Structure 1
Amino acid sequence: MSQELFNPFKDLIFDEHFCFLSGALTNEKMTVFPEWLMAHFKFGEERVEMMDKAKSYHYQDLEVPCSPEVKQAFDALDVKIQEAYKNGYEGMAALDEVLIFQWTGRMVYGLLYYEMIYERDRLLKKRKAFELSPALKERFGNFHLMLQSIIEPISFVGKKPWSIVVFPLKYSADIFSYRDDAINLMFSFGVNGFGFIACLQDNGVIKEKQKEILQKIEGHVLHPAQFEELYARFHYSDYILQYAPKFTVTNQGHNLSIAVDAAPKDAFFGFWNEDIFSQLLSNYWQVYGISKEDILQPQRPPLSFLENPYTKDFVDPETIALPF
């Protein structure tokens, strides 16, 4: 390409007059969460907390500066996602993963943007410098580069640099469930008809780690408790991931191509601690009144709604008595 693309993490540029994606000067803004999504599920006036729980915003007030070009691109993407959404699981499963990455990435990056601003201003009040480690700069910078594929000629070659899984899901009508971890670049989304989980910068290794359970899921409509457990597995896998994903970015005239580097043969993941995992899972299952002590009982295997803890057979969703 003729010039280097904007990378806000290089010099930590998060300014209301610079487009969050292209870096162009602008006075326009767009919402972090799609307006149609907030209107359909009526959560615009609900609050979302920053990572340290000390600050919160109304979802509808979360906005990022954007150029007209960027807003137009995301508006067009929203139309595609909304049409797919109307067709439930079949519509979402038929989407190109790049579109799901871009749509999900908008929300995750928007929350990350607010985390960066919040931390910068918090440190400024203490007269301290706002800094990020080289590893985080690289990780977030790669994510931002890939998100620019919505406006720039960027292609993904071969294996995709993320783990995205879409599956049928049974919720009561009009219930909307989502979870995010902006710092670890993760997102889950569940409604009546389908759910998906996205790990946006893992080079697909977490999906590979969970391959066995994903194969068992095929052909089944998941119960929400199973969906929460699956996301907990992905989330905890990301937590113990000991492999820093690498990419090769090739400049081909006016195009960029991004290819996933071959992963090392060493183990990617640290020790799976059932005590820590059970605590995480209990946070997701608390709506059912299930505590960590219920999940991890003495002399018994951990509770699971995905697999029979003794036979490892997949649990038929229809046999789960919990509400949905």
Structure 2
Amino acid sequence: MQTEIYQPFDKFNFGNRTCFLTGKALQSEEEKIQVFPAWLLSKYNLYDQPFKMLDENFPTYKDLKLPCSAEVNELYLEPLEEEIKAAFEQGFEAVKALDEWKLFIWSGKIMYGIIFNELQSAIKQQYAQGQGLNISQSLMHKFSQLHIMLQMLLLPIVFEGFKPYSFFLFKINPATDQFNYRDEINSLTFSLRLNDFGFIFCLQDNSANMLYHQEILQKIAGQTLHPIQFEEFSGRIFYSAYLFNRLPEYHLLEVENKIYIEAMPLQGLSSKPFFDEWKPKVYGQVLENFWKPWGFLLLEIIKNPEEPMSFLVDKNSMFIKAEKIELPG
């Protein structure tokens, strides 16, 4: 197994003949794994369901794959999948007991898998049109850093006194046997709700979103959320992740066969706040999207333009218990 970090973004290597995690040559282009694990696709009948890509194409979930060596899959990914699968099937308490870093790797692998497929699609389209690939350098930088972090699965990587992510986990009632997934690859934000739990990751913010939402988190910490409350909180996180205006930087140092990752200060040379201005109307538009299953329209949500509708807190900013949620119809 390799002993140094693999960096595919240096040479823009996104072909199907090298392992996505190690860069080692594969036996054939058929040596692949599913981006969304097979057990999840099977349980929620997702194999033939469409997955919307940024270019408006709709491959199926089963079409989303990553080139991966049998060795990496057998030694590292399959054991992780088995552990995650067992916890997800048991529910909230088992998920809560999981090592957060394992959930980070599991979620990050899905996010990176989507990025990998998006890049492959973009490369094919651009070269078919006789053009070079034109993608934001800051985005490439973020994607590259996520890929480095995923390699903690097989390399002795140590995060020096910080977490590169914000993580939010909640118990959900009533439970659902549906697969509710969202991502936003520009901000590396990911949410998943199923069974009796839901969680959200901001995969590369150095816990900034956790601090930004400290006030509401103090009110809902340890509380069981109704699904509409979880989606409301998810909307808050996805919106603030969009407003986050820093590009985290990291310093890598190898010492005594370990690779230490140190976070550079987010403040940098800028004196402006880490987050751009929160605009209630734009947030209302986010909520409208997150609340689609319940049919709320933007005009209802922002009836009071300065205080959009909320199922998390009442008019006195007190938490609303899940069992007290009343929905139309």
Structure-2-length-normalised TM-score: 0.92
CA distance in 2, matches of 1:227, 1:242: 25
- Displaced runs of 4 or more, over 4 A: none
Q: Cα gap change, 1:179/1:29 in structure 2, threshold over 3 Å: closer, same or farther?
A: same
User: Quick one: which amino acid aligns to residue 317 of structure 1?
Assistant: A
From 271, 274, 280, the counterpart of 2:277: 271
Gaps of 5+ in 1: none
Distance in 2, Cα, partners of 1:213 & 1:29: 42
C-alpha deviation, 1:323, in angstroms: 8.3
Greater mean alpha carbon deviation, residues 133-142 or residues 281-290: 133-142
Alignment partner of 1:103 is 2:127: no
Question: Post-superposition shift, 1:172?
Answer: 4.1
Q: Does 1:315 align with 2:320?
A: yes
Residue 171 of structure 1 deviates from its aligned partner by: 4.1
Matching of residue 135 in structure 1 with residue 125 in structure 2: no
- Cα distance between partner residues in 2 of 1:130 and 1:241: 26
Q: Which residue of 2 aligns with 1:283?
A: 289
TM superposition shift of 1:275:
1.2
**Equivalent in the alignment of 1:24:** 24
Is 1:292 the counterpart of 2:298? The answer is: yes
Secondary structure of the corresponding residue to residue 119 of structure 1 = helix
Any gaps of 5 or more consecutive residues in structure 2?
none
CA distance in 2, matches of 1:13, 1:191: 34
Which residue pairs with 2:65 in the alignment?
A: 63
Q: Is 1:170–1:222's contact at 8 Å kept on the other side of the alignment?
A: yes
2-side partners of 1:141 and 1:175: how far apart? Answer: 32
Shift in CA distance, 299/29, structure 1 to aligned 2, threshold 3 Å: closer
Q: What is the letter of the counterpart of residue 268 of structure 1? A: F
Deviation (angstroms), 1:298: 4.7
Spell out the pairing of 1:69-218 with structure 2 (5 A cutoff).
Answer: 69-72=71-74, 73-218=76-221
The answer to whether the Cα contact below 8 Å between 1:112 and 1:183 also exists between their aligned partners in 2 is no
- Number of equivalent positions: 322
C-alpha distance after superposition, 1:29-74 (max 9, x if no partner): 1010111111112212111010132x11111121111112321211
Measure, in 2, the Cα distance between the counterparts of 1:60 and 1:100.
22
| Contact 2:139–2:186 (CA under 8 A) maintained in structure 1 | no
* Partner SS for 2:224: coil
Q: Distance in 1 between matches of 2:225 and 2:156?
A: 37
CA distance in 1: counterparts of 2:90 and 2:278, whole angstroms: 38
How far, CA to CA, are the matches of 2:195 and 2:173 in structure 1? 5
Q: Structure 1 43/299 Cα, relative in aligned 2: closer, same or farther at 3 Å?
A: closer
1:41 aligns with 2:44: yes
State the alpha-carbon separation in 2 of the partners of residues 225 and 128 from structure 1.
Answer: 44
Give distance in 2, aligned partners of 1:278 and 1:147: 34
SS in 1 for 2:8: coil
Q: Which residue of 1 aligns with 2:307?
A: 301
Alpha-carbon displacement from aligned partner over 1:279-319 (angstroms, at most 9, x marks no partner) = 111011111110111100156731011122x3111122111
Q: Relative to 1, partners in 2 of residues 1:199 and 1:300: Cα closer, same or farther, differing over 3 Å?
A: closer
Q: In the alignment, residue 278 of structure 2 is paired with which amino acid? A: W
